[in-house]
Amino acid sequence: MNVITDLDEITTPFRRAVITIGNFDGVHLGHQALFKEVIRKSKEIDGTSVAMTFEPHPMQVLKKNYQPPLITLLEQKIELIGLTGIDVLVCVPFTRQFAALTPREFVEDVLIRRIGMAAIIVGRDYSFGRHREGNVRLLRTFAEIFDFELVLADWIQHAEAGTGRISSTKIRELVMDGMVDEVRPMLGRFYQIRGLVASGRNRGGRLLGFPTANLNLQDELCPKNGVYAVTVEWNGQTYDGVANIGWSPTFDDQVFTVEAHILDFDENIYGQQIRVNFIKRIRDELKFSSVEELADQIQKDVIETRHILHQANRS
């Protein structure tokens, strides 16, 4: 996949570009269905499949002091879109100047002249341009004026009754509620955070007998405080683990941490990147009367985690 991070990098329009546009936070199954349709259409007209997204998230630019937690940071979003088979990903630097483009300027100057759009595939509530003035009705008018094809995609519904369409908002709510096992059918994978292993407080192994890898989060969406069964990816291998998110109330030091104890693992990974996949929430974070009581509970958490991960591997 060709990744473009500045529109000025595009010196020649793409061959009969078929494009879809969005933030694609989470790259969930709904997004993946859009990409699949873009690829199908591009093959039909012997064109180029293109996805356009924005960095940073538009809300971070347009709403002061608003930092929406991201389901997928840019690095992971690029990886996931690349796995779909899209030819080109255009990551537009989102600025107030770009946001000020009128709907016609965006379509005519960016999509047609710069990218070479022959067809666009979007959802039925798609909006674009300055103050989101553009909508599907206007886009249909532009399609007639500039001679491109507009395809409106249907929403992808969740398989289980009553949950409605798959959306980044729904996934974000579930993760924040700790219901990480319920987002897997929507994402097509487990929810993941990633980051560098930082120095902790040197008590996991020393005091508890369970050494942990501490992660510093950036703008990622953080699951609800508690203990989780997880898998940890490092150096091309995947390991079982138990993660704790919260304030470690037993120690009462008021420091928020995201830390993972990797089972059957004895490597020095400080400063290295790991990826943590959240399989299922085990329990709330609790305050124990002693370090010994906490260590006993962690041992029970490990046993429960092994059971959960064994079941997950069978499903």
pLDDT in tens, 256-305: 889 999 999 988 898 999 999 999 999 998 888 788 888 899 999 999 99
Q: pLDDT-derived band of residue 250, with 50, 70 and 90 as boundaries?
A: low
2-153 shares its CATH topology with 190-314:
no
Q: Is the pLDDT of residue 160 over 80?
A: no
Bridge-based pairing of strands 88-93 and 2-4 is: parallel
Q: Is the pLDDT of residue 184 over 50?
A: yes
Query: Of 124 and 82, which is predicted with more confidence?
Result: 82
Distance CA 302, CA 315 (A): 20
Q: Is the pLDDT of residue 207 over 50?
A: no
Q: Is the pLDDT of residue 47 over 70?
A: yes
Instruction: Give the pLDDT of residue 257.
Output: 85
Instruction: Give the pLDDT of residue 204.
Output: 47
3-state secondary structure of 147: coil
Instruction: Give the pLDDT of residue 202.
Output: 55
Q: pLDDT-derived band of residue 314, with 50, 70 and 90 as boundaries?
A: confident
Instruction: Give the pLDDT of residue 157.
Output: 67
Q: Is the pLDDT of residue 255 over 90?
A: no
Strand partners of residue 120: 19, 150
pTM: 0.90
Instruction: Give the pLDDT of residue 163.
Output: 52
Among left, alpha and beta (phi > 0; psi -120 to 50; other), residue 26 is left
Q: Is the pLDDT of residue 205 over 50?
A: no
Alpha carbon separation from 187 to 24, 236, 307 (Å, rounded) = 11, 22, 23
Q: pLDDT-derived band of residue 158, with 50, 70 and 90 as boundaries?
A: low
CATH fold of the domain at 2-153? Rossmann fold (3.40.50)
Question: How does pLDDT run across 5-35, given as a tens digit for each residue?
Answer: 999 999 999 999 999 999 999 999 999 999 9
Q: Write out the two tokens for 118.
A: 């022959």
* CATH code of domain 190-314: 2.40.30.30
Instruction: Give the pLDDT of residue 201.
Output: 56
Q: Is the pLDDT of residue 44 over 70?
A: yes
* CB contact set of 72 (below 8 Å; sequence gap of 6+): 25, 26, 27, 80
Question: How does pLDDT run across 85-143, given as a tens digit for each residue?
Answer: 999 999 999 999 999 999 999 999 999 999 999 999 999 999 999 999 999 999 999 99
Q: What are the residue boundaries of the structural domains of the chain, listed by start?
A: 2-153, 190-314
Exposed (0-12), middle (13-18) or buried (19+): which is 135, by Cβ within 10 Å? middle
